[in-house]
């Protein structure tokens, strides 16, 4: 199963995001304590009681409180982004891959290339929307409270197992 994890401090964007969610994915929304939680049909809604740090606390809350299974994949979908139309068709055929992390390229919302796919994640060459991780490898990883926690997490995940690089631009950066 692919789980889309959204740390949410922009609930007004959720309806726009929802229209991009593939039906075969599980959408988990963790509401930041700075906003009033809402019900979102078809999503698992959680409240962390925490705020700040670019969603890091809320991601960690989901890691600690949702019953992920070893073969599950976790994709970080920020509350200012949408799923690229080609993303699911590209990654759904890769879910049986034994990799710790799958990476791909990223676009600006106008379609210009922002980040290339990489097999060596580092701060600045990967973003939360340009990778997903397999739970069996990352179940003991947690996000730091640094603004660069997404890159740090991707680096740590890439050190835990195989990396699969998909040479496609199938994610957006801050689309909304």
50-73 tens-digit pLDDT? 887 789 999 999 999 999 999 999
Number of domains in the chain: 1
pLDDT digits (tens, 9 = 90+) for 62-108: 999 999 999 999 999 999 999 999 999 999 999 999 999 999 999 99
Whichever domain contains 120, its CATH number is 3.90.550.10
Range of the domain at 42: 2-172
Q: Hey, what are 78's tokens?
A: 């920020």
pLDDT digits (tens, 9 = 90+) for 122-158: 999 999 999 999 999 999 999 999 999 999 999 999 9
Residue 169 pLDDT greater than 80, yes or no: yes
* 3-26: b (≥16 Cβ within 10 Å) or e: bbbbbbbbbebbeebeebbeeebb
């Amino acid at each position: 199963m692919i789980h889309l994890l959204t740390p949410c401090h922009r609930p007004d964007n959720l309806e726009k995001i929802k229209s991009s969610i593939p039906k075969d994915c599980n959408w988990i929304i963790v509401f930041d304590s700075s906003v009033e939680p809402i019900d979102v049909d078809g999503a698992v809604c959680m409240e962390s009681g925490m705020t700040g740090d670019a969603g890091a606390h809320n991601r960690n809350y989901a890691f600690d409180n949702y019953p992920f299974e070893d073969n599950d994949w976790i994709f970080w979908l920020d509350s200012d982004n949408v799923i690229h139309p080609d993303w699911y068709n590209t990654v759904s055929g890769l879910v049986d891959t034994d990799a710790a992390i799958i990476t791909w390229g990223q676009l600006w919302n106008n379609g210009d290339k922002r980040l290339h796919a990489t097999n060596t994640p580092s701060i600045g060459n990967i973003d939360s929307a340009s990778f997903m991780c397999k739970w069996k490898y990352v179940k003991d990883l947690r996000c730091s409270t640094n603004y660069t926690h997404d890159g740090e997490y991707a680096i740590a995940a890439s050190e835990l197992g195989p990396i699969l690089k998909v040479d496609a631009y199938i994610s957006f950066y801050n689309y909304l």
